[in-house]
């Protein structure tokens, strides 16, 4: 373990722990948009900036990417410089995405008022990349960024429905703004221009996965008659399915 100082608190961490994780473990909150605990960090939004003093030099660093690797590192999470940097990031994001709910409370906290440039269509996506990383982490790789600058957007390849998409909703679940929408009607789920057949649990009737999800994970849909929750209940004790006891 190594010892670092965050906002005057001495904190012991495993070498390599990011400053964000170390701060949160010590009960110190740092605002984030692109970081997600289930995904590898990518440093897209730069909102999590902190001041780091190492070997006598102080600089701004992205806490979600910066590993604590040496004793004596000093971190300050709420200085004027840090707040100015965060305000700058929020202003850029909020001007482009004034409708994004994830930005609203942050803008209030940092005294930022969105002022969208003329001709820029307000939208929800803040280009945090969580959806793309979720899709990569799953191994499906059905989403990516296309375009540059203002035009950068999340889409399946060539803006067409992707054969690689399995309709799992991981992208929508990690999106902080609600930009990714889907629909479920009867036994069909639609997302990213594709419609998927849902699999229903024989016990609780929850439509818990798409056929493609089961196939992707190597599960035979014929044998996956129970959802994970009912399967767990089954492992913990016997359950009844209709007239049958399993």
User: Could you count the other beta carbons within 10 Å of the beta carbon of residue 200?
Assistant: 14
Q: Where are the beta strands (DSSP E) in 24-134?
A: 49-54, 57-62, 74-76
- Closest CB to ligand SF4 among residues 60, 172: 172
Specify the 3-state DSSP secondary structure of 51: strand
CB of 89 to ligand FES, least distance (A): 9
- Closest CB to ligand FES among residues 85, 116: 85
Site residues, ligand FES (CB under 6 A): 32-35, 43-48, 62, 64
Binder among 4, 11, 103, 154 for ligand SF4 (CB under 6 A)? 154
- Closest CB to ligand SF4 among residues 42, 202: 42
- Closest CB to ligand SF4 among residues 19, 131: 131
Give the largest CA-CA distance in the chain.
73
Q: Which residues contact 40 (CB under 8 A, 6 or more apart)?
A: 133, 137
Looking at the DSSP bridge assignments, the partners of residue 51 are 60, 76
Q: Binding to ligand SF4 (CB under 6 A): which residues in 166-185?
A: 174-177, 179-180
CB of 178 to ligand SF4, least distance (A): 8
In angstroms, the CA 14 to CA 52 distance is 18
Nearest to 25 by CA among 11, 15, 14: 11
Which of ligand FES, ligand SF4, none binds 227 (CB below 5-8 Å, type-dependent)? none
- Rounded to the nearest angstrom, the gap between the alpha carbon of residue 19 and the centroid of all alpha carbons in its chain is 18
Where do runs of H (alpha helix) occur along 58-115?
A: 80-96, 101-110
Applying CB under 6 A, the site for ligand SF4 has a residue count of 14
- Closest CB to ligand SF4 among residues 11, 126: 126
In angstroms, the CA 97 to CA 94 distance is 5
Alpha carbons within 13 A on the beta-carbon side of 79: 17
Binder among 28, 131, 142, 169 for ligand SF4 (CB under 6 A)? 131
Which of ligand SF4, ligand FES, none binds 130 (CB below 5-8 Å, type-dependent)? ligand SF4
Q: Does 93 bind ligand SF4 (CB under 6 A)?
A: no
Q: Binding to ligand SF4 (CB under 6 A): which residues in 49-78?
A: none
Residue ranges binding ligand SF4 (CB under 6 A): 125-131, 154, 174-177, 179-180
């Amino acid at each position: 373990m190594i010892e670092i100082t965050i906002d005057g608190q001495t904190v012991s961490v495993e070498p390599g722990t990011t400053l964000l994780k170390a701060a949160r473990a010590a009960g110190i909150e740092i605002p984030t948009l692109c970081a997600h605990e289930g995904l590898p960090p990518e440093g897209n939004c730069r909102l999590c900036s902190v001041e780091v003093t190492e070997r006598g030099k102080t600089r701004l660093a992205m806490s979600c990417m910066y590993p604590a690797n040496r004793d004596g590192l000093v971190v300050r999470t709420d200085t004027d410089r840090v707040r100015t940097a965060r305000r700058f990031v929020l202003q850029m994001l909020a001007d482009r995405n004034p409708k994004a709910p994830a930005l609203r409370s942050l803008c209030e906290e940092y005294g930022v008022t969105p002022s969208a440039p003329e001709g820029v269509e307000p939208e929800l996506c803040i280009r945090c990349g969580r959806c793309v990383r979720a899709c990569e982490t799953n191994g499906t790789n059905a989403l990516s960024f296309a375009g540059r600058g203002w035009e950068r957007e999340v889409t399946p390849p060539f803006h067409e429905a992707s054969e690689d998409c399995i309709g799992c909703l991981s992208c929508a679940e990690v999106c902080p703004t609600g930009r990714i929408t889907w629909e479920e009607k009867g036994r069909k789920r639609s997302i990213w221009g594709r419609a998927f057949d849902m699999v229903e649990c024989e016990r609780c009737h929850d439509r818990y996965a798409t056929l493609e999800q089961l196939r992707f994970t190597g599960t035979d849909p014929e044998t996956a008659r129970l959802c994970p929750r009912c399967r767990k209940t089954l492992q913990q004790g016997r359950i009844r399915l209709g007239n049958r006891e399993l």
